[in-house]
Structure 1
Amino acid sequence: MNELGLDPLQNYVDTDTWNWDTFIEVAKQANRDTDNDGKIDMWGLATNDLLVRALASNEAALFHEGKQTLEDPKTLEVLNFIHRLAVEQVARPTEGGDWTEPKQFFIQGNTLMYPGHDYEMEDLMNEMPEYDLGFLPFPKGPSATMYHSHNTIPNYYAIPRAVENPEQLVYIWEKIYDIESIYDYPHQASFERIFSNEDDINNARRAVESFKVIEQIDYYPSLPYYEFLGELRDGVSVSTLIEKYKAPFQAAVDEVWGQ
């Protein structure tokens, strides 16, 4: 931020203006040709692979109660947001790398924002000891009321149907974990270990106040999710994508849940 002469991004959070519009504005401001050779060599955003995060941040989904929701107004806002990132060439273009490429871009030190996870923070600090790294929640979508994090593969405890007295087992299990926490807030120990200042800690606390579960290919094995995502990230029009994919999306859900 200092090199680029940008206002601290924390200001947007502090003034409750950290949203998709300011996010895009900042990313574009950071796209620079610093050596005047006609090519961008400093980027604002490591990738436009943000569909799941954007869905969570706009309180949207691809599916609801066994139905695809590609035409839901909140979902349409998300698809148009990702489409805008693509057609306006906001993010750093891929160089043909795998799913780890955005992180590698960020570690190079010439990319301002990387959509990572808190558990990556220690690795990033080890890889980038000369940089002062910060953490922001993903910006709010236009239909959101607060910041949200996401989960795509929830974990559940289950009791086999044949077990006797399952209610008693659940009662015992709950009592085992009914302990008084020594912490002031959830994740306090890890947040205070991996984040270097109070703003980052508070941002992380904001981010985990609400998790949105986003159903995608992990739920529906036949879902053409990556084909859909690839075309969206390539700038194919949203209306074209919806017409092409709403039927196969529904078919993938019906395969799991039945008609």
Structure 2
Amino acid sequence: MKKRTKSFWTTLLTAMTTIALISGCSGGNGNAGNTANQAVNESGNNASANEAVQEETKLDNPNITILYHTSKEQYEETKAGNPDAYDVLWETVPEFEAKFGGKVNVIAVPWGDQKSTLISMVNAGDQVDVAQANDQNFPVYPLKNIVQPIDQYIDLSDEMWNKAVTNAFSFGGKPYAVGSTSTPIVIFYNKTMFDDNGVKTPSEYYAEGNWTWDTFREVAMELTQDTDSDGQVDQYGFGWWDAGYALMVGSNGRTLLSYNPDGTITTNYDSENVKEAMQFTQDALLKDKFIDSSKEGDYFNAEFKNGKLAMSAEYGFGGYNVFKSDYEIDFVPVPTGPKGEKDAGPGGLGGWSIPVVSKNPQGGAELIKMMSRNELNKSMENNVKLYGQEKVDMMNYLGSKILFAPIGVEQYWDANAAVLTGIKEGTPVGTFAATAKGIMEEGIKITLTQ
């Protein structure tokens, strides 16, 4: 399909949102971390945190303890190498202590050890007033009574709060975390390659309201080529982690897990939405062959930068770093699937919770509000400066439509591996979907009863 018009507007883009120009992160079905370096506001109302009415608050106890993934020494080291780096906690601590006159005790624990550490501290009765909420420690935290409903300490009607975060970290009808930002995953494309080949761009299709799996597939196949005429394909239309399977699930209107108001958990591996995403991904690899099936992961980043990959994906504005090259780069939402909602798709969400062992939940709530306000303001300020208001508005809009479900369920990765193996080996979709469903249902039983 050839271009009918040539647009010459450009931008750069990729993986997570980099406020402070910290590298974006890629990877499987993982989500971006909860720092202002990776986030944009996605409350859906475009309200600045500065617009919120600030009431003067006084704390009887201004001393709090927070479990966090980065130590002060680690942040100072990062800051020394990158003066633009911004960590919302460490930038907020001095402000909080100056305002309330207390002390913020930070217990720094690596990201992967957050869940086990908090569980151990709660079981021992150790004080923790604030903890991070992410995709892999939920629903375990509410199930094990590690964190408490947060709406008793924080007004969720405040426009600062991202409703997608609150919804994602609700369990049994109760909200357990809040956050002000989120990071949608978007499709980045090499505009130079599209123009040089006379191929209509994803942005042009999107402007027409016709950016779908079908048009994505067509341009991907058209740009999969043997550019040096040696009989071997050396340029591909698309590539990302897990062949982009998670992107197709989200863009077809589903998440792999559903957390129901009655506290039950169900899996969607057997839904038509998910099976269509499986089939589309399998066809992309084995039938249409616009993805290099022999490669995975970060390889695609390098190929994009080398001008050998037409499209990839990343979290938010992080692509401006990850795919930085001599080529013009632009971005669009993930293409809409046959059962999906326009512009809705996968992304990264994170938030803040108050553990049940908190001895100062009011103080914890004030720190959460201060960090969230700072994160929102910093992300909006820096992103507008770096990418322009139009791009920020688009990213905010997409973030308000993120489909997200925590994956902290036993055997999730086993079920996911069964799917990815089936996709790559050409196994009938119904067969490996049933296998994954069985594995996941067993994992749900374990998670709910352990």
- Which of the five TM-score ranges fits, normalised by the shorter chain? 0.7 to 0.9
Q: Report the more deviating stretch, 35-44 or 109-118.
A: 35-44
> Would you say the 8 A contact 1:80–1:238 is kept in 2?
yes
Report whether the alignment pairs 1:29 with 2:222: yes
Conservation of the 8 A alpha-carbon contact between 1:83 and 1:236 = no
More displaced stretch, 187-196 vs 35-44: 187-196
Amino acid corresponding to residue 19 of structure 1 in structure 2: T
Is 1:122–1:194's contact at 8 Å kept on the other side of the alignment?
no
State yes or no: 1:60 paired with 2:258: no
The alpha-carbon distance between structure 1 residues 160 and 110, as it changes in their structure 2 partners (threshold 3 A), is closer
Aligned residue number for residue 209 of structure 1: 400
Q: Give aligned-pair identity as a percent.
A: 18
**Residues of 2 paired with 1:213 and 1:182: CA distance?**
20
CA shift at 1:24, angstroms? Answer: 0.5
CA distance in structure 1 between the partners assigned to 2:421 and 2:396 by the alignment: 32
Counterpart AA for 1:220: E
Q: The residue matched to 1:134 in structure 2 has which SS? A: strand
Query: Residue 211 of structure 2: which of 18, 32, 38 is its match?
Result: 18
Name the counterpart of 1:74. 273
**Number of the residue aligned with 2:354:** 159
Instruction: Tell me by how many angstroms 1:222 deviates.
Output: 5.7
Q: How far apart, CA to CA, are the structure 1 residues paired with 2:431 and 2:292?
A: 23
The answer as to whether partners of 2:336 and 2:343 remain within 8 angstroms in 1 is yes
Q: Distance in 2 between matches of 1:209 and 1:219?
A: 25
CA contact (8 A) 1:46 1:92 kept: yes
Residue identity in the other structure for 1:109: G
Other-structure match for 2:420:
229
- SS of equivalent residue, structure 1 residue 210: coil
Q: CA RMSD in A?
A: 3.1
> TM-score w.r.t. structure 1 length?
0.81
Q: Secondary structure at the match of 2:346?
A: strand
Q: Structure 1 residues 86, 100: CA separation in 2 closer, same or farther (over 3 Å shift)?
A: same
Aligned-partner Cα distance in 2 for 1:102–1:197: 29
Give the partner amino acid of 2:246.
V
3-state SS of paired residue (1:76):
helix
Contact 1:44/1:112 (<8 A) preserved: yes
**Bigger strand share:** 2
Q: Deviation per CA, 1:103-133, whole angstroms, max 9, x where unpaired?
A: 112111121101122343232454x1x2111
2:243·2:285 contact (CA, 8 Å) conserved in 1?
A: no
Note closer, same or farther for the CA distance 1:35–1:174 as it changes in structure 2 (3 Å cut): closer
Per-residue deviation at 1:72? Answer: 1.5
**CA 49–77 in structure 1, closer or farther in 2 if over 3 Å, else same:** same
Shift of 1:197: 9.6
CA pair 33-247 structure 1, distance change in 2 beyond 3 A: same
Listed one character per residue, the Cα deviations across residues 10-64 of structure 1 (whole Å, up to 9, x for unaligned) are 1111011001111001101111223332222222112462122222212202222
Q: How far apart are the structure 2 equivalents of 1:244 and 1:181?
A: 42
Residues 157 and 241 (structure 1 numbering): CA distance in 2 closer, same or farther, change over 3 Å? same
Partner of 2:410: 220
Q: Which runs of 5+ in 1 are unaligned?
A: none
2:401 is aligned with what amino acid? Answer: S
TM-aligned CA deviation for residue 237 of structure 1: 1.3
Is the contact between residue 62 and residue 68 of structure 1 (CA under 8 Å) also seen in structure 2? yes
Q: In the TM superposition, what whole-angstrom CA distance separates every residue of 1:231-254 from its partner, at most 9, and x where no partner exists?
A: 223332101112322211111122
What SS is found at the alignment partner of 1:2?
Answer: helix
1-structure distance, mates of 2:436, 2:365 = 45
**SS of 1:213's equivalent?**
coil
CA shift, 1:164, in A, is 5.0
- Give 1 or 2 for the bigger CA radius of gyration: 2
The residue number in structure 1 matching 2:310 is 112
The alignment partner of 1:230 has SS state of helix
Superposed CA deviations along residues 111-159 of structure 1, whole A, max 9, x for unmatched, are: 1101122343232454x1x21111111111112222134246x433222
Name 2:198's counterpart in structure 1: 5
Q: Any conservation in 2 of the 1:61–1:215 contact (CA below 8 Å)?
A: no
**Equivalent of residue 334 in structure 2, options 128, 138, 155:** 138
User: Structure 2 length normalisation: TM-score?
Assistant: 0.49
CA distance in 2, matches of 1:241, 1:46: 22
Residues 214 and 181 (structure 1), Cα distance of their counterparts in 2 relative to 1, 3 Å cut: closer
Q: Is 2:290 aligned against 1:91? A: yes
Taking the aligned partners of 1:95 and 1:215, their CA distance within structure 2 comes to 29
CA distance in 1, matches of 2:307, 2:237: 11
Partners of 1:27 and 1:90 within 8 A in 2:
no
Task: Count residues with an aligned counterpart.
Answer: 250
Query: What CA distance in whole angstroms lies between the structure 2 residues aligned with 1:5 and 1:80?
Result: 29
